[in-house]
Structure 1
Amino acid sequence: MMQTLLTALKPKSEFSKRIKSRHKKFWNDPEAEIIRNTVMSAEDPIEKWKNVPNWQRKLSNKYNSREFAKMYGCKVPDLYWKGRDVVNINFYKLPQQYVIRPTIGHSCSAVFLMDGDYNLFDKTYYTHTEIINCLNSYLQENPKLEFLVEEFLTNEQGEHKILDDYKIFAFNGKIAAILVINRTSPKTGYQTAYTEDWIQTESLVNSYPEGIHQQPPACLDEMIADVKKLSKAYEIFVRVDYYATSKGAVFGEFSPTPSRGNSSTSYASKLFTSYWKKYCDGMI
């Protein structure tokens, strides 16, 4: 409670102000949800992706972001099912391990990381009926949602575990920093931060305790190349989330307003503001 109060009272950095301003412009628009939920395809020409102001909002839909990454030759998890009529998910045709996630959302909300009947995220056993009931409850809160049933990616050692998150802060093709979250649950884990050359830096966020130095993933070069390519295509600042897996670097999602600018350390705020001014000058 005290930490929350102190965070609220702390003066906002320039980076935080930029993110909050972007969030307001992106999502206070009455057309925002129509734009976000316009279903796109990797086969669509880039002109169709960019046919509305602040077109990047389309990429806040996780299905669209998959398609965009595919369009640029990046790996994505295999897709087993997509839709709202969750009673039509045929669980008996799914592999033993699979992931369910919503097309809209953040902070791993409504994500099921299933190993048989066990959800590794909330450490709870579910029947198929219970999963369907949970998904329907989320749909009642937001009927615009769809759900994706995807491949449960294995780590570089081929294990079905909660994957480490590689959160890469990118500015029009330039990488400012890599935040690694060694996740233990949707909201717990440890952080370390690195340059693209894997030199450890000061912490980037205040929402996770500091972890220990770790070796770079085997697919780091592939991950860096993918992110630079996607960031250049995205144009404006974005955090690109990636996974290091047994099949190499795999795209996760785009985060245009990470934590709404609230969790960055002083070091990160200064770094990101300098990159924004240098590489995204005049951009939202």
Structure 2
Amino acid sequence: MIRKLILRILKNLKFIPNTLLLKIRHEYYCGEKLDLNNPKTFNEKICWLKLFFHVPLLTQLADKYLVRSYVEEKIGAEFLNKLYKVYYKVEDINFDELPNQFVLKGVHGSSLNIIVKDKSKLDIEKAKKTMQKWMKHCQYKKVGLEWAYKNIQPKIIAEKFLKEEGKEVINDYKFFCFNGEPKFLQIDIERGIKDYRCFYNLNWEKLPFTTIKKVYFEEEVEKPSNFDEMKILAKKLADNLPFARVDFYSVQGKTYFGEITFYPGDGKEEFTPFEYNCSIGDYLKLPEIPKQQQIITVF
């Protein structure tokens, strides 16, 4: 109990070196020591990537605006959602120019979204205040040292609101790709409402695990007609990266790119049953780093 309290205090201190800070946060949130010399679980390896895999391409792909040019080059512009505009200042947003339904996103972090289903009911001043906070947000500093976000210029995009008849929220299909190969996918259902989740393999067979913080979806999920297309596109976009989660939406059989993520759940997403933390970790083959960068356990 005392150690937990100490960890709670230490995890927010800014002067602690990154390696030690990740060890503190991992133990606090996951309840286990973080082994960066010999990482085995999926979360341990995600933490390792945060510290050591610093490829400039990651910055472009984590940026929800700049990633569009990468997607266009790799698979084609037809898989991109409609972009209304990109804004570098909140005061530049002209709500009169936007349609009745749209989505505002901060490109430089996660969960920076305002979904507008009826513009006449939108509290514009409140939305502006929220977005002003977004512009000061640094995912790298404030969340979990997610390096890909460190150098992204804050900005906001307005996109088309994707919807499908009979569904309040469309499903989110998230492909876990290791060294460029999709291995399985996570399906988020009724996100933001009931937050159901389940996992399927690439043969559309339900897998016997989920994540601790989400409600397991007990029923079978109907296979989308464009599932095979999404598998092919995920492979093209993952492009031999050690790990990338490539997200898509399916609307009336049409595939829309969602985003590319490198640190699901900030490296704190625990799978249950527990053994799948290691089983999934086995898929992730970490790149080599110079010997002088090898870590000595401090904490």
Unpaired segments ≥5 residues, structure 1: 28-52, 119-124
Larger mean Cα displacement after TM superposition, 256-265 or 190-199 = 256-265
Q: 2:132 aligns with which of 130, 136, 161?
A: 136
Q: 2:75 aligns with which of 73, 76, 86?
A: 73
CA RMSD of aligned residues (A): 2.9
Q: Which residue of 2 aligns with 1:49?
A: none
Q: Which residue of 1 aligns with 2:241?
A: 235
Q: Which residue of 1 aligns with 2:281?
A: 273
Q: Which residue of 2 aligns with 1:14?
A: 41
Larger mean Cα displacement after TM superposition, 56-65 or 192-201 = 56-65
Matching residue's letter, 2:83: L
Q: 1:261 aligns with which of 247, 267, 270?
A: 267
Whether contact under 8 Å (2:248, 2:256) holds in the other structure is yes
Matching residue's letter, 1:175: P
Matching residue's letter, 1:189: D
Matching residue's letter, 1:62: K
State TM-score, norm by structure 1. Answer: 0.75
Whether contact under 8 Å (1:165, 1:182) holds in the other structure is yes
> Once the two structures are superposed, what CA deviation does each residue of 1:100-135 show, in whole Å capped at 9, x if it has no partner?
0011111x2x201111138xxxxxx53223322321
Whether contact under 8 Å (1:174, 1:228) holds in the other structure is yes
| Separation in structure 1 between the aligned mates of residue 67 and residue 222 of structure 2, nearest angstrom | 28
Q: 2:63 aligns with which of 30, 53, 61?
A: 61
Identity %: 21
Unpaired segments ≥5 residues, structure 2: 5-25, 35-39, 139-151, 291-299
Matched, 1:248 2:241: no
Matching residue's letter, 1:228: K
Larger radius of gyration: 2
Q: Which residue of 1 aligns with 2:86?
A: 82
Matching residue's letter, 1:99: V
Q: Which residue of 1 aligns with 2:95?
A: 91
**Distance apart, 1:224 and its partner CA:** 0.9
Q: Which residue of 2 aligns with 1:150?
A: 159
**Distance apart, 1:26 and its partner CA:** 5.3
| Separation in structure 1 between the aligned mates of residue 289 and residue 51 of structure 2, nearest angstrom | 15
Across the two proteins, how many residue pairs are aligned to each other?
Answer: 244
| Separation in structure 2 between the aligned mates of residue 78 and residue 283 of structure 1, nearest angstrom | 40
> Once the two structures are superposed, what CA deviation does each residue of 1:158-200 show, in whole Å capped at 9, x if it has no partner?
x6732221111001331111110113418x5011110011000
Whether contact under 8 Å (1:170, 1:239) holds in the other structure is yes
